[in-house]
Structure 1
Amino acid sequence: MKLKFFFIKTYNYVRDVSRSLTLLWNAAFCESLFLAVLSILQGIFPAISISISKLVVDEVVLNLTTDVQPKLSIIIILVTSWIGVLMLSLLLNPWTKALQGNLNDKLTAHLSLLLMEKVNSFPDLSCFEDSRFYDELQILQKQLNYQPFNLLNSIVVGGRSCITLLTMLILLLPLGYWIPIILTIAIFPQILVSMQYETQIWSAFFDKGYQSRRMSYITSVLFSDTFAKEIRLFNLGNFFVSQYLTAFQVLHRSIRRLRIRQALWVSGLALLSTIGNGAAFYWIVRKAFRGQISPGSILLFLEALTNLRWSLEEFFGMWLNLHETMLYMQQLFSFLDSEPNMRLSFPGELVKKPLRSGIDFRNVSFFYPDNRLALLNITFTILPGETIAIVGENGAGKTTLIKLLLRMYDPVRGEILVDDINIKELNLDDWRRQVSGVFQDFGRYYLTLSENIALGDPRVAENHEELRIAIRKIGIHPLVERLPEKEHTPLGKQFGGTELSGGEWQKLAIARAIVRRNAQILILDEPTAALDPRSEYETYQHFTELARGKTTILVTHRLASVKLADRILVMKKGHLVEVGTHEELIDRDGEYASLWNMQANQYKA
């Protein structure tokens, strides 16, 4: 059973190494090919140089100990060859470094793109609410800055060392067949022990991924302008520093113990390697005194032994680096091969244009991963072209309804139908193209102002007139005229751009929703939360124009705006408690009337 497990583990390791080499090949074919050739040459050069040195010494000794006249031509050829090998070795070094740098840049970018494409491929939001997903993603992302270089360096340097090692063993073989064997056996236990401990260290590091992510979060809090005011007002700096230290101690306590054990074992096993080298050297010295080998052979042995030892240490170090990097690559491949939780229909049904019967929620229930109730047995219909408002207190389930409608989640029970077709059977990309909207947690993209708007529909980037229409509709044209580069002004302090107020950012989010003209459904989730009263009033003055020809869903807790809706859905603690027009709900004197009266009394006060 253990043997079977060993073979399976070896097979998986070789497969992942092969897959890593394929990544290098795909990232930069030409650089990979040239670097492989240069590494082979650099690995062979030491053996050629030592062989030439042996021949030179033997020629000199022969001349000094006999009456044989030296052949000047042979000496010139040998010395010229030695200088040529040295010159080539020196000339190849800068080109090797240049190729490594270019290949590393391309590999890092290639892996970053693979990670981004993979994360973007998850159609739902469930993974973003899984802490283990964040732990795994942060480790992969954080180590992406240096693991590609480690992979590249380990393969290049390790491959070169391996070639040098083999050529040195071949040179030593004629001096004694057992010498290469004993030197190789002496180093092997160090590799096995170190690999075992590196695996344990990686596992411990990954198991404590929560603490690593917490450390990164704390540093981001202290380094960000978002929290700077509160941290200084409430003097929170020392609190967050102590939280960072606590997480650090938990993370590194177990790893520190493993590293100490690894150092003790490797130090002990290094003695075995020293004994092997000493035995080989004693054997060669005895043969030299007996006249069984030439003086050049002694030089060859000493230089080969030095190079062998150096190559073994370098190969050993690179092997450990490669092993650590392969643990990272295995985790990366596992992440890239993971399947999304949400199953999609391919090719899926296309959405009818325009909608015929509308959208039906039928006994829809949804629970969060920790089993908290979000929605329970929700049933209602949205007719084509209708404007509905969804109201209720915070946590009532309003935004969750929207996420289900966009199929960011699937219901736990019940179904959502679009023109009598289950939303799960629709082509998801086509369905989402039918929707435009503004969310409460809208994005602030540090791009130009025009790019921020054109994210809603990339075609607008080339249509300046439509862009200006959207700018005028949301009432930011005076702001645009004041900006140094008008609509092409970069936004956001992080990249030296212009910073906007919260309300101005929200107006850009509204403009982003406006320019998506082909959408049949418009979702406005607290669209004026960051706006001042005047801007909110002006936005709702344009509401009829924004909603013209679209099925519109307005999610809000500011009830003054819901009179614009054809119907109002009232949510409370995950239940749909009331449905009707504003007047009907006021007359019913239920939950909606209670909320309305509370807000009305606040304004009166």
Structure 2
Amino acid sequence: MILAIRYVFASCPIRIVALVAIVLLQGLIPALNVFMTGQIINTLHIPQISDNALIVSIAIWCISLLGIQLMEPLVNLVQGDVTEISTRYFSTSIMRRMNESFSLSLFDNKDRYEQLEFLKKEAAYRPLNFIICIIYLFRAAVMAGSLLLVLISYSGVGAAICALSAIPMIVTNIRIQQKYVEDLFRNSKDAIAMRYVYGVSMDKSFLQEIRLYGLGEYLLSKYNESAQNTYNRMHKQRVRAMVSPIPAMVMSLLILSLGIFLFLGHLRTSEMAVGALVMVFQSIVMMKSHLDEIANYGANLTIMSRFFDSYHSFMTDEIEPVKNGDGVLPDNQPFSLSINNLSFNYEGRDDKALDGVNLEVSPGEKVAILGDNGSGKTTLIKLMLRMYAFNEGNVSVSGIPLQNLDIDDYRNQIATVFQEYGKYEFSVGENIALSKFEPEATSSDIDALLRQVSFPYEQHKRLGKQFGGDELSVGQWQRLAIARALFRKANLFIFDEFSSSLDPETEQRLFNEILSLNTTVIAVTHRLGNIKEFDRIVVMADGKVIENGSFDSLLVRRGKFFDMWHAQFKSVIAESA
């Protein structure tokens, strides 16, 4: 809880101090109003009362009443500022922390990935809810405390004990709520399964297969299984919630009896106007209401503080195994690559994704990497890009060890198109030039790239339905990804199945244009139609390089490449034979 308060305070300290002061005043004014009500009633029963004293009491009572009305919008104003600033603070802090990471390792650690998903989902509203909850809790505590003092001043400790008799039930309710939260977290896997199955059942992209394979009843049974598990656990929790408060109820009843006894004893020995007596009972009811608020908000704070525990861990723990260097490569010179005995396995997996890979790429050379799914092609590319740290072997770029390079400078000289490329629902120009795009200007370079990839829209066209733009086909998004890579004019081009959604004519033309670039090109592909144009072909299997040579030499070798080529172009081979 202290950790959560510290982080919230750090998000906007000045406004939070102001908010606390305003809420403190807001909490005291109702007690002042109640106190002055009692004063006015008692004053009216004094035989010789000064008009001035009565006027002062009524004036203070009116001012307190006006204060109650004025404070609420003031609290809403400051609280609104605090919640918006704080929500932005936490979201931007998480984004900035993500930007500090050079690699993808975070997503391969199960616990870290779940933590990130939790933060991503809840950062937009957990800090907001926590602030609202703690402000209301603070206000309720101030109101209850001030009313307690008023009760004691008018009726002794008896009435105060009557109001405090609710505390055992409050403590019990908080414990029940905490237990409920624990059960809810244990139910999270079933809840996730229910949401997933329900979403799949309603998703248009799945419906064809669901109809074709008759999966409707199967999905329904999986949903019901998870729902039944959830019901069984939560039903037990509800039974406990019904039974466990009984001892607290008895304790509250005993305390209430003691309070009534002391209160009645006080009435026998003191003079209290009937109107003031009514005010006392109203104060007890008000105080009981505020104590209930304390119970509800206190229980909710326990739930919300989990967000800040995860936030603190994410912000302070070491999450980045890749260390940055300070080496800089020269501009406008195609890179060479030297990979020696490189091995790597993903976190949590026993099998090696790469096992002793050796590979040399000369400056300006065009190299194709082939292999079955899971052979290590994409992993090799990711290690070239320094997306993961490797412990065995080494990689050098133009003679400099990869781990010694400044990562940002190195990546700024590389252009890539991955299988999973970004689809940014911004303008066409932003999709190509990204942060270098100038919305108020028209770039002739971008226009040329749009013509080169045969893209149908101009550079200022908004894309994506979320912002009222046009939705693109998969092939059109892929053309934009290729244009984004070509815009960079890099010293190393890396393509990972970049043409999977292009028509054959466009694919052939873009392949030829890319291979004609005066730079180093490495392409991972399964489509062998343009494979002859590469200077060299590398074939991988089980995390190893098993073949490495020119097109003709690999065909003569009649190994893995020959089998792949034969599978795709059997008729071509038959004719050439």
**Fold conserved between structures, TM > 0.5:** yes
Distance 1:161 1:576 in 2: 69
1:284–1:210 distance in 2 versus 1, CA, 3 Å: closer
Q: Which residue of 2 aligns with 1:128?
A: 107
- On the 8 A contact 2:334/2:519 being kept in 1, the answer is no
Structure 1 position 232, deviation (Å): 4.6
The residue number in structure 2 matching 1:53 is 37
User: Relative to structure 1, is the Cα distance of residues 324 and 53 closer, same or farther in structure 2, using a 3 angstrom cutoff?
Assistant: same
Distance 1:393 1:461 in 2: 46
Map of 2:328 onto structure 1: 350
Distance in 1 separating the partners of 2:17 and 2:259: 38
User: Which structure 1 residue ranges, 5 or more long, are not aligned?
Assistant: 1-12, 481-485
Give the 5 Å matches for 1:37-48. 37-48=21-32
Partner of 1:328: 307
Contact 1:389 1:567 in 2 (8 A): yes
Q: Which amino acid aligns with 1:506?
A: Q
Whether 1:92 and 2:71 are equivalent positions in the alignment is yes
Distance in 2 between residues matched to 1:438 and 1:288, nearest whole Å: 85
1:489-540 CA-partner distances (Å, limit 9, x unpaired): 22234444222222221111100101112x2110011121111212212222
Q: How does 1:426-575 map to 2 (within 5 A)?
A: 426-455=405-434, 458=437, 464-476=443-455, 479-480=456-457, 486-517=458-489, 519-545=490-516, 548-575=517-544
Asked whether 1:163 is paired with 2:142, we answer yes
Percent identity among equivalent residues?
A: 27
C-alpha distance in structure 1 between counterparts of 2:406 and 2:336, whole Å = 17
Once the two structures are overlaid, the 10-residue window that deviates more, 116-125 or 178-187, is: 178-187
Q: Counterpart of 1:20?
A: 8
Distance 1:122 1:156 in 2: 35
Question: 1:407 aligns to what?
Answer: 386
Alpha-carbon contact 1:195-1:320 (below 8 Å) kept: yes
Task: Give the Å deviation of 1:373.
Answer: 3.2
Q: Matched residue of 1:161: which SS?
A: helix
2:283 alignment counterpart: 304
Q: Letter of the aligned partner of 1:365 in structure 2?
A: S
The CA distance in 2 between the partners of 1:603 and 1:180, in whole Å, is 99
**Residue number in structure 2 paired with 1:378:** 357
Bigger drift between 173-182 and 38-47 goes to 173-182
Distance 1:135 1:255 in 2: 24
* 8 Å CA contact 1:107, 1:148 repeated in 2: yes
The code of the aligned residue for 1:254 comes to R
CA 1:49 to 1:136, structure 2 compared with 1: closer, same or farther past 3 Å?
same
Contact 1:136 1:209 in 2 (8 A): no
**3-state DSSP class of the match of 2:449?**
helix
Q: Distance in 2 between matches of 1:319 and 1:523?
A: 54
Distance 1:375 1:363 in 2: 9
Q: Equivalent residue of 2:423, what SS?
A: coil
Q: Is the 8 A contact 1:456 1:515 kept in 2?
A: no
Deviations 1:90-148 (A, max 9, x none): 22223323443443333333322233333343322232234444433333333445423
How far, CA to CA, are the matches of 1:379 and 1:503 in structure 2?
34
Q: 1-side partners of 2:388 and 2:285: how far apart?
A: 63
Distance 1:590 1:532, change over 3 A: same
- 1:408-427 counterparts in 2 under 5 A? 408-427=387-406
Distance 1:562 1:491, change over 3 A: same
In terms of mean alpha carbon deviation, does 172-181 or 414-423 score higher?
172-181
Contact 2:449 2:483 in 1 (8 A): yes
CA deviation after TM superposition for structure 1 residue 424, in Å: 2.2
User: Residue 288 of structure 1 contacts residue 298 of structure 1 at CA under 8 Å; is this kept in 2?
Assistant: no
Give distance in 2, aligned partners of 1:540 and 1:356: 18
Q: Deviations over 1:352-405 (max 9, x none)?
A: 446698221111112233223322111111122211111122222111110111
- Between 1:303-312 and 1:184-193, the stretch displaced more is 184-193
1:285 aligned to 2:264?
A: yes
Matched length: 573
Q: 1:458 to 1:222 in 2, by over 3 A?
A: farther
State the Cα distance separating 1:156 from its structure 2 match: 1.3
- Gap change, CA 1:216 and 1:130, over 3 Å in 2: farther
Q: Structure 2: how far apart are the matches of 1:536 and 1:237?
A: 39
**1:558 Cα deviation after fit:** 1.4
Aligned in 2, Cα 1:529/1:583: closer, same or farther, shift over 3 Å? same
Q: Does 1:363 align with 2:332?
A: no
SS at match of 1:348: coil
Partner of 2:372 in structure 1? 393
Q: Does 1:585 align with 2:569?
A: no
SS of the equivalent of 1:371 reads: coil
Q: Is residue 598 of structure 1 aligned with residue 567 of structure 2?
A: yes
Gap change, CA 1:124 and 1:213, over 3 Å in 2: farther
Structure 2 vs 1, CA of residues 56 and 112 (structure 1 numbering), >3 Å: closer, same or farther? Answer: same
**Residue 259 (structure 1) shift:** 4.9
Measured on the aligned residues, the alpha-carbon RMSD in Å equals 3.1
Inter-CA distance 538–425: structure 2 relative to 1 (3 Å threshold):
same
Distance 1:146 1:265, change over 3 A: farther
What residue is the counterpart of 1:10 in the other structure? none
Question: Could you list the per-position Cα deviations for residues 70-89 of structure 1 after superposition, in whole angstroms to 9, with x for gaps in the alignment?
Answer: 43333333223222211221
Q: Aligned partners of 1:59, 1:14: CA distance in 2, in Å? A: 46
The answer to whether structure 1 residue 261 and structure 2 residue 249 are counterparts is: no
User: Greater shift after overlay, 527-536 or 243-252?
Assistant: 243-252
CA contact (8 A) 2:168 2:251 kept: no
- More divergent stretch after superposition (367-376 vs 555-564): 367-376
Q: 3-state SS of the aligned residue for 1:389?
A: strand
| Cα separation, partners in 2 of 1:218 and 1:394, compared to 1, 3 Å | same
Q: How far is 1:165 from its partner?
A: 2.0
Q: Does 1:79 align with 2:58?
A: yes
Q: Residues 208 and 411 of structure 1: is their aligned pair in 2 closer, same or farther, counting only changes over 3 Å?
A: farther
Cα distance per residue 1:215-264 (max 9 Å; x no partner): 44445434545434434544545543443443344456435534542453
- Does the residue aligned with 1:559 lie in a helix, a strand or coil? coil
Q: 2:82 aligns with which of 98, 103, 120?
A: 103
Q: Partner letter of residue 4 of structure 2?
A: D
Q: Which amino acid aligns with 1:158?
A: L
- Mapped partners of 1:282, 1:522: distance in 2: 87
Indicate the larger mover: 259-268 or 158-167: 259-268
Distance 1:601 1:456 in 2: 47
- Residue of structure 1 in register with 2:545 after alignment: 576
Amino acid at match of 2:478: Q
Letter of the 1:60 partner, please give it. Answer: L
3-state SS of 2:305 partner: helix
Supply the AA of the counterpart residue of 1:350: V
Q: Flag the 1:393–1:348 CA change in 2: closer, same or farther, 3 A.
A: same
Instruction: Describe the shift of the 1:239–1:135 C-alpha distance in structure 2 as closer, same or farther (beyond 3 A).
Output: farther
TM-aligned CA distance change 1:77 to 1:457, over 3 Å: closer
Q: TM-score normalized by structure 1?
A: 0.85
Aligned residues of 1:362 and 1:416 also touching (Cα < 8 A): yes
